[in-house]
A and B are shown apart, each in its own frame.
Chain A
Amino acid sequence: MDAIDILITVAVVIAGFAVWLLSTAVFIWGERRIVAKMQSRIGPNRLGPFGMLQTVADGAKLFFKEDIRPVGIDPVVYFAAPAVSAIVALLTIAVIPFGGTFTVGEREIALQIWDPEIGMLWILAMSSVAVYGITLGGWSSGSKYSLLGGVRSTAQMISYELALGLGLAAVFVWNGTLQSSEIVAAQSRLLDLGPISVPAWNIVPQLPAFVLFFIAAVAEAERPPFDLPEGEGELVGGFNTEYSGAKFAMFFLAEFMAVITMSAITVTLFLGGPSGPLFGLDGTFAGALLGFVYFAIKVFAFMFVFVWLRGTLPRLKYNRLMDLGWKVLLPVGLVWVLATAAIVVAQDALARTDLLRTVFLVAAVLIAIVLVLPLFDRRRPAEPAADEPGDAPKPDTMTDLRRVVDERTPDRVTVES
């Protein structure tokens, strides 16, 4: 490793962080504009073309605001928590390939900061450390609302980390690797389906894992409808109630970066990352940039879904959130990982015409299903009966409420611009 290698590494690192920070700024603006459109509002439109510079103005405002120091805080932890959040949000992106590979002289340069063998486990590690920023921020503020927000976020993130991990595990088993560059390479092949050929994206064979992972990703990023840790209707502002100025900005940045990171991970795992038709530009800088363009388009599509969810869905009740995580996503994830593993081994056994192994495998899966099924069976008849006393009045209340709201609102809400 000589000086030029180090320079290249530094350049890639700077490029990566610049891309992520810039897209965070764009995303904050884009979310406000899109949600405004969905709610028949206009959104920020004063600063720059289409209000694009609004984020810059807000950032500047936040950083020059008075830094309020509440009375009941735990000083060291209070100052460390936003830093932990922001640092972890930035570190997570390190293993995601954000563009193609190109060759300069004898050096092959990948638009990826770090490509370790443990690959996507790094993301799991960072997302589990990200809990600390929020939890500690909530605890150290010395306020009940903050503490409740912190406690909620801890429980939520631990619960959904399981589903997140199972979604990842299914892809690991399917592609046989943890390394992000290899997962992308496995998906950049083309599958011949008669007249057309389609990219071998994991989203097709791993659709359940994709759904599982994306729901868990929304919950990990603590975005609506899973934004209970900062439910402003219940907890003032949640874990960040007592924060202001630059420290609040760090939490804010971390939250929006989490959306981009989660979108980027989803794209890497299930939609082929930066792969796409390169038109013979393989190995050139233009080809690498083209890969970046593909990556950006896919990631922006998922970021739009995040905004869409926020504009569409109401916040979940806390017990529903936990039910979804533990009673739906976790069993589905376990079963799917088992099924994926069985399919992978069965393919291997069939390829070697190893009949004995295939028979054993099928028998093992059947036994596992027979053993596990009663556990699900017992729950099913009990649930509707149990739901009746508690949940039955709710639909009525909701319909009543809707009727009242419908009666009192004019047919069309018009906004004058």
Chain B
Amino acid sequence: MREWQREALKIAMPWLVIAVLLAVWEISCVVFDVPEIILPRPSKVFAVFVARFDILMAFGWDTLWTTLAGFLLAIAGGLLLGLAIGASPFVYSGLYPLLIAFNAVPKVAIVPILMIWVGIGALPAVITAFVISFFPIVVNVATGLATIEPEMRDVLRSLGATRYEILTKVGIPRAMPYLFASLKVAITLAFIGSVISETVGGNRGIGFLMLSASARNDAPTTFAGLFTIAIMGVLMYAVCALAEKRMTRWAFRGEIVA
């Protein structure tokens, strides 16, 4: 194989795999005569996707903006708390156990409480997305700060740098790759959070759409909803990965030299 062929194949691979998977799925459904209510054929799902494109878009938009709102809040909050935890041993020992405990609570359980507090609608979805994607950001930012080389710190201290200067000159730049790595995890978690909230108690969004479709035994629409979330998830992940490469080029060393 020539070099350009290898490159082209590398780019085509994910699409090929998807195509093969869908083909196997389609053929299995026909061959084994699977009832549509259990597993609809991909072609049927696609047909529904096209037929209900407007409503999927509308509800998809609800899910997307609530997810992004929660995610952005999580970045802001996670960055601040992560910096505080990473920079101060006291904040660390005070808050870390609490954070772990909080993270261990199943997020489904807090949605009903949120509904009592703020009612039904977009707000519980935003809050759930925030709560679920907050933790990995905090942990990663704190880790980035805590792993500064002692020698680097010594160099700065012997120059007479203050704690604040050490934080801004080394701590924050060094925590950035950790932050962006965590964003890739956090964005997918944020989708889970908002969809959970919509499913448990919502009146908008893809989660709500899937729940009501499955209540009507409308499997193709449920699957169309699933695909919509998956596509949004991949797109947002790609945005985060791109931002990571852009913002922390130095952490990818070799790739730029080449």
A binds B: no
Taking Cβ atoms with an 8 Å cutoff, the residues of B that contact A are none
